[in-house]
A and B are shown apart, each in its own frame.
Chain A
Amino acid sequence: MVDLSGWWDDYFWGAITVLRVFGVSLILMVVFGLIGASAKLSKSRIAHKIAGAYTVAFRGTPELLVLLLFYYGSAVTLTGISKIFFPETQFVDIPPFWSGSLAIGMIVGSYATETFRGAFLGVDPGHVEAARALGISNVQTFFHVRIPQMWRLALPGFGNHMLSLMKDTALISIIGLEEILFVAEMATAVTFKPFLMYMIVALIYLSITTIITLVVMILEKYANRHLEGAR
Chain B
Amino acid sequence: MNLEFDLILESIPRMLTGIGVTLQLLVLAAVLGLVLGVILLLMRISGRRYLSFPAFIYAYFFRGTPILVQIFVIYHGFPQFEFIRDSVFWVILREPFSCATLALTLNSAAYVSEILRGGYLGVERGLHEAGMALGLKKHHRFFYVTTPIAIRLAIPAYSNEFISMLKATSLASTITLLDMTGVARTIVAQTFAPYEIFISTAVIYLVITTIFQRGFGMFEKRMSRYIRQ
Tell me the A residues contacting B by CB distance below 8 Å. 56-57, 59-66, 68-69, 72-73, 75-77, 80, 163, 167-171, 173-174, 181, 184, 188, 192-199, 201-202, 205-206, 209-210, 213
Contact A69 B67 (CB under 8 A): no
Contact B195 A202 (CB under 8 A): no
Given A60-B205, A76-B195, A199-B77, A68:B64 Cβ within 8 A: no
- The answer to whether A209 and B199 have CB atoms under 8 Å apart is no
B46 within 8 A of A: no
Question: With A76-B192, A205-B64, A206-B64 known to touch, is A193 a contact of B80 (CB < 8 Å)?
Answer: yes
**B79 touching A62 by the CB < 8 A rule?**
no
Closest residue of B by beta carbon distance from A174? B174
Known: A60-B163, A60-B209, A188-B76. A65 touches B184 (CB 8 A): yes
Q: Which residue of A lies closest to B80 (CB)?
A: A195
In Å, the complex CA distance between A219 and B167 comes to 31
Kindly list chain B residues whose C-beta atoms are within 8 Å of the C-beta of A196: 77, 80
Closest partner residue, chain B, to A75 (CB atom): B194
Residues of chain A within 8 A (CB-CB) of B73 are 195, 198-199, 202
Give the complex CA separation of A63 and B66 in angstroms.
12
Chain B residue with minimal CB distance to A72? B194
Given contacts A57-B202, A61-B202, A65-B198, contact A205 B188 (CB under 8 A): no
Main secondary structure of the interface of A (DSSP, over half): helix
**Contact at B77–A62, with CB atoms within 8 Å?**
no
Given A56-B206, A62-B181, A64-B170: A181 touches B1 (CB 8 Å cut-off): no
**What distance in Å separates the Cβ of B20 from its nearest Cβ neighbour in chain A?**
17
Contacts of A193 in B (CB 8 A): 80
**Closest-CB distance, A197 to chain B (whole angstroms):** 8
- From A66, A76, A170, contact of B69 by CB (8 A): A170
Judge whether A57 and B206 touch: CB under 8 Å.
yes
- Asked if A171 and B68 sit within 8 Å, CB to CB, the answer is yes
CB neighbours (8 Å) of A181 from chain B are 68-69, 72
In the complex, what residues of B have CB within 8 A of residue A62's CB?
166-171, 181, 205
Query: How far, in whole Å, are A206 and B59 apart by their CA atoms in the complex?
Result: 12
Closest to A197 in B: B77
**Which of chain B's residues have a CB closer than 8 A to the CB of A192?**
80
Q: Is B105 part of the binding interface, using a Cβ–Cβ cutoff of 8 Å?
A: no
Q: Residue of B at shortest CB range from A56?
A: B206
- Chain A residue nearest to B208 in the complex (CB): A60
Name the CB-closest residue of A to B169: A62
A170 to B201, CA, bound (A): 22
Residues facing A in B37-54 (CB within 8 A) are none
In the bound assembly, the distance between CA atoms of A216 and B73 in angstroms comes to: 28
Q: Which of B170-184 contact A (CB under 8 A)?
A: 170-171, 173-174, 181, 184
User: Contact at B65–A202, with CB atoms within 8 Å?
Assistant: yes
Whole-angstrom distance from the CB of B187 to the nearest CB of chain A?
A: 12
- Given A69-B194, A69-B199, are A206 and B80 also a contact pair (CB < 8 Å)? no
Q: Which residues of A contact B77 (CB under 8 A)?
A: 194-199
| Given A62-B181, A170-B68, A194 and B76 contact (CB-CB distance below 8 Å) | yes
With contacts A65-B184, A194-B77, A198-B76 taken as known, whether A60 is within 8 angstroms of B210 at the C-beta atoms is yes
Name 5 extra pairs, CB < 8 A, besides A64-B173, A73-B194.
Answer: A63-B167, A170-B68, A184-B72, A195-B78, A206-B61
Chain B residues with CB under 8 A of A80: 1
Q: Are A60 and B206 in contact (CB under 8 A)?
A: yes
Task: Report the bound CA distance from A195 to B80 in whole Å.
Answer: 6
B72 A198 Cβ-Cβ under 8 A? yes
Among the interface residues B64, B193, B209, which one has the most CB atoms of the partner chain A within 10 A?
A: B64
